[in-house]
Chain A
Amino acid sequence: MTDARLRLSRALKWAMMRYIPLMITCRDFDALLHDYVEGSLTAGLRRRIQIHCMFCRECSDYLLGYQQTIKLEKTVPVDDGDVPESFVQAVLSARRA
């Protein structure tokens, strides 16, 4: 996106944030995001997040990335891995000491 188009897009967004009922700013959106993802927002605030997402591509995209990040981190495996025999023996001899 060129600089001129970027500026125009931001100006439009700013105008929407000011004049659309129940619209919140991106900064407010960010402050509510944790509770939104955790499902602990009131219905009213949840609606405000959803309305904001309808008009703000950046925040809508941010939310997608945020949710996918959580999914990615949660699927990192908790592998058992190999246990060196020397480690087992070290624990057992420390127990006997």
Chain B
Amino acid sequence: MPEAEFVRRLKAGDDSAAEELVREHSGWMLSLARRYVIDNALAEDCVQEAFLNAFRSIERFEGRSKLKSWLHRIVLNEALKTIHSRRRWDERPIEDLLPEFDKFDCRVEGLWPEIASPIEILEGNQIRVLVTEKINELPTKYRIVLLLRDIEEMSTAETAALLKITEGTVKVRLHRARSALRVLLRPVIGAETEP
């Protein structure tokens, strides 16, 4: 069925279209919300609220974007709202994970383990899970920027607008998040590549 026709049924309050929407989109929406709020129950709350928002505002959906893109933005906003309202304060300071320099501004750093390619490493499902876990260990404000920029592939300007911070802050947080993740991933990759 063409999307325009499906949207018309949703606007008309068609129950079967509503059910179809929930069944078709819940999977990726839950997965998206879980990436941000981490907790499964919170992710379900976010997605439920996102669907209710979508049903309430479907009248205003003009079809300028795909329905999925529209839902994506709604669930993302819900997840960010949840994070802001439940900010965790027991996080590890990111400074512990940032590069160190000596008094001559020279880098003091252990070497990166030799690996064939990240893709080969990711062939093991266990590593995929570990990478996700390591991303989840980042302090929230850095993790969110990393997810928006590197996973959602939003631009610096879009990320700044969504989070209501400056583009400069987005760049600094992204750089710190990547640097910290690099430190967190090093032992994982090292352990995985040992003969």
Contacts and interface: CB of A to CB of B under 8 A. Distances in A.
A4 interface: no
B175 A69 contact: no
A70 B63 CA distance: 34
B132 A66 contact: no
Interface string A58-80: 11011011101111111111111
Given A59-B107, A62-B99, A91-B48, A70 B178 contact: yes
Most buried by A among B44, B107, B186, B189: B107
Given A25-B101, A30-B99, 11 more contacts: A13-B104, A14-B104, A25-B106, A30-B107, A34-B174, A58-B109, A58-B111, A72-B189, A77-B128, A81-B31, A91-B22
Contacts of B1: none
Interface in A41-97: 56-59, 61-62, 64-66, 68-83, 87-88, 90-92, 94-95
Report whether over half of chain B's contact residues are helix, strand or loop; otherwise say mixed: helix
A30 B175 CA distance: 9
Contacts of B119: 71, 75
A27 B48 contact: no
A25 B185 contact: no
Interface in A24-40: 25-30, 33-35
Nearest to A15: B104
Interface of A: 10, 13-14, 17, 25-30, 33-35, 56-59, 61-62, 64-66, 68-83, 87-88, 90-92, 94-95
A80 B106 contact: no
B67 interface: no
Contacts of A95: 18, 51-52, 55
A80 B27 contact: yes
Given A10-B104, A95-B18, A81 B150 contact: no
A33 B175 contact: yes
Nearest to B52: A94
